[in-house]
Structure 1
Amino acid sequence: MSHTAHIPSHRKPRRSASKLAVRAGVAGGVLSTLAMAGTASASPSEPVAETTLEMPVLNLDLAAEVASAVTTAAENTRSAAVEGELNAQEESALSGAAAEAKQAKEAAQKKADEEKKAKEEADRKAEAERASRTAARNSLQNTSGSGSTSGSQQGVGTVTAPATGSAAAIVNFARAQVGKAYVMGGTGPSSFDCSGLVQAAYRQAGISLPRMSQAQSSSGTSVSLSALQPGDILYWGSRGSAYHVAIYVGGGKFVGAQNPSTGIVERSLSYDKPTGAVRVL
């Protein structure tokens, strides 16, 4: 035989603890029976009776118990997973509702701030207009009270000569629009806004002006309100950032598209004294 050949092992396989316990119980029962039989054979006066021993029945249904335990654990795990998912969905819904409420609050606050800012701006403009009218009235009263007017002196709205040429074309067109409607963005022929009227009037004289009042107040050269001539552009606000313009038509009056309630009107300078004037002609 080769020295590398497999030699069968004479060691017996180990038995499980449960099998050993069963065998021990059986052996114990057999030994007890033999002992009782020996005792009986030692007494000749008593007949030997045949005894039948019942072996204990072992119920080791471990597979069923394990399967039941696994099923219970699986059910508990599934229940916990479902509950966790429901909790997560509830938390997500609450977070979403809170975020939407916050956005709605921020939007409402922003709108309120914008409305407040617009109202403050409108109030500021109205106050500026009232202050200008008050100053104009005071100036007119002071001028009238002084009594120092002469042919060589020029008060507000005084001109040295009537409108002629291009100035006459501008003035005549402006006066022809009196009574028409004021419409924001209007450029004629049935309605105008303030800068639309000035632009259209100067177009009659072949002069092209910018569309907006801010740019119109920067056109030409600045002139004093005490030296106005027909056709000069009057403006309210700062030069280059005026918020209203009109046309001086002579005799201390102007024509302008004032607002939606009055439309295009001819008014005295004392009605609403302008801030300044420019001469383009």
Structure 2
Amino acid sequence: MSHTAHIPSHRKPRRSASKLALRAGVAGGVLSTIAVAGAAGPANAEPVTETIEMPTLGSLDTELASAVSASAEASHQEALDLSLRAQEDAAIAKAAQEAKKAKAEADRKAEAERAEKARAEAQERASRTQARTQLSPASSSSDSGSSDSGSSYSADSSTQAPTGSAAAIVAFARAQIGDAYVSGGTGPNSWDCSGLVQAAYRQAGIDLPRVSSSQSSMGTSVSLSNLQPGDILYWGSRSGSYHVAIYVGGGMYVGAQNPSTGVVERSLDWDTPSGAVRIL
């Protein structure tokens, strides 16, 4: 055999790189498939699925806005309730204060009226007592030395109506009967004793002083037994009388007595005057 003769080699033929890569890829894919299948469990097992609902941002914003709105409304309502309660408390306190003030004022007026009534009643009692003392039989002279307050009186029996100035004075005095007595009153619907006498004499064109002590100091003293309509009757001393009235005839006089009686017509026997003066 020739040295150059072809001897078949026992080496395996080299595989190409592309075939090797192809085989490696197939093997890797098979192994991966097996691994995945094994991890997933048996081939016939159903996949387990679970759905978790997550809140969306839109629903969270809506709920938050509703909560904030409800809280704000509650706070506003509470503030309104507190304001209303405060106003009610203030109104109650004010009403109580005004009621207390009104009661105090009413009590004050009532007390003043009671005091005035008591004073007038005491004055009236004192005048009657003093008149009886001055008209006792032992008394025979007046402040002026003439027999006026000390003399006993007798009602004139004449029924003849007064005339002239006396008639105007008597008519005015009687027209005021029923009017109220008010200290310091000068008419037209309320009087005190000297206010009524002054207004009556003004009807005859005669201006008298305002107070009783000055009125009883005017004119001429006359006896109670010689009275004429229009004469001024007084209680107390002539220069210090505390009450006056107008003699209207028939043993009667008209005067503004006190707050409880007002202007009345009374008999001389009811409250005998201390004396009388004549101005006409």
Tell me the equivalent position of 1:107.
Answer: 102
Deviates more, 1:256-265 or 1:234-243: 234-243
Matched, 1:271 2:266: no
TM-score, structure 1 length as denominator? 0.51
Aligned to 1:65: 60
TM-aligned CA deviation for residue 91 of structure 1: 2.7
Give the 3 Å change call, closer, same or farther, for CA 254–223 of structure 1 in structure 2.
Answer: farther
Q: Which has the larger radius of gyration?
A: 2
Instruction: Measure how far apart 1:114 and its partner are.
Output: 0.5
Superposed CA deviations along residues 229-256 of structure 1, whole A, max 9, x for unmatched, are 6666344589999874224699xx7733
Is the CA contact 1:232–1:278 (under 8 Å) kept in the aligned structure 2? yes
Q: What CA distance in whole angstroms lies between the structure 2 residues aligned with 1:116 and 1:104?
A: 18
Q: Counterpart amino acid of 1:264?
A: E
**C-alpha separation in 2, matches of 1:261 and 1:121:** 13
- The aligned residue for residue 117 of structure 1 is 112
Q: Which stretch of structure 1 is more off in the superposition, 238-247 or 82-91? A: 238-247
Are the aligned partners of 2:141 and 2:150 in contact in 1 as well (CA < 8 Å)? no
- Aligned-residue offset at 1:137: 1.7
Runs (5+) with no aligned partner, structure 2: 1-23, 41-48, 153-161
State the Cα RMSD in Å: 5.5
TM-score (norm 2): 0.51
Rate the CA distance shift 1:239–1:60 in 2: closer, same or farther, 3 A.
farther
Please give the per-residue CA displacement for 1:200-222, whole angstroms capped at 9, x wherever unaligned.
Answer: 46745x53447xxxx16376682
1:134 maps onto 2:129 in alignment = yes
Paired with 1:202 and 1:273, the residues of 2 have a C-alpha distance of 23
Is residue 48 of structure 2 the alignment partner of residue 48 of structure 1? no
Following the alignment from structure 1 to structure 2, what is the Cα–Cα distance between the partners of residues 105 and 70? 53
What amino acid is aligned across from residue 149 of structure 2 in structure 1? V
Tell me what 1:156 maps to.
149
SS in 1 for 2:268: strand
5+ long unaligned stretches in structure 1: 1-40, 160-166
Higher deviation after alignment, 195-204 or 121-130: 195-204
Q: C-alpha separation between the residues in 2 aligned to 1:240 and 1:92?
A: 65
Is the contact made by 1:219 and 1:278 (CA closer than 8 Å) also made in structure 2? no
Question: Does residue 245 of the first structure (1) align with residue 244 of the second (2)?
Answer: yes
Aligned to 2:158: none
SS of residue in 2 equivalent to 1:182: coil
Distance in 2 separating the partners of 1:134 and 1:123: 16
* Other structure's SS at 2:135 match: helix
Shift of 1:111: 1.3
Contact 2:234 2:243 in 1 (8 A): yes
Structure 1 vs Structure 2: percent identity of aligned residues? 26
Q: In structure 2, do the counterparts of structure 1 residues 216 and 203 end up closer, same or farther at CA, with 3 Å as the change threshold?
A: farther
Report the secondary structure of 2:253's partner residue: strand
SS of 2:206's partner is coil
Distance 1:258 1:121 in 2: 14
Aligned residues of 2:208 and 2:215 also touching (Cα < 8 A): no
Shift of residue 84, structure 1, vs aligned partner: 2.0
Question: Which of residues 253, 256, 265 is equivalent to 2:254?
Answer: 256
- Letter paired with 1:48: L
Give distance in 1, aligned partners of 2:91 and 2:29.
Answer: 96
Distance 1:236 1:105, change over 3 A: farther
Please show how residues 118-267 of structure 1 align to structure 2 within 5 Å. 118-141=113-136, 144-145=137-138, 154=147, 156=149, 182-184=177-179, 195-196=195-196, 199-200=199-200, 203-204=203-204, 206-209=205-208, 215=210, 217=212, 222=217, 227-228=221-222, 233-235=232-234, 244-247=243-246, 255-257=253-255, 263-267=264-268
Q: Say how many residue pairs are matched.
A: 212
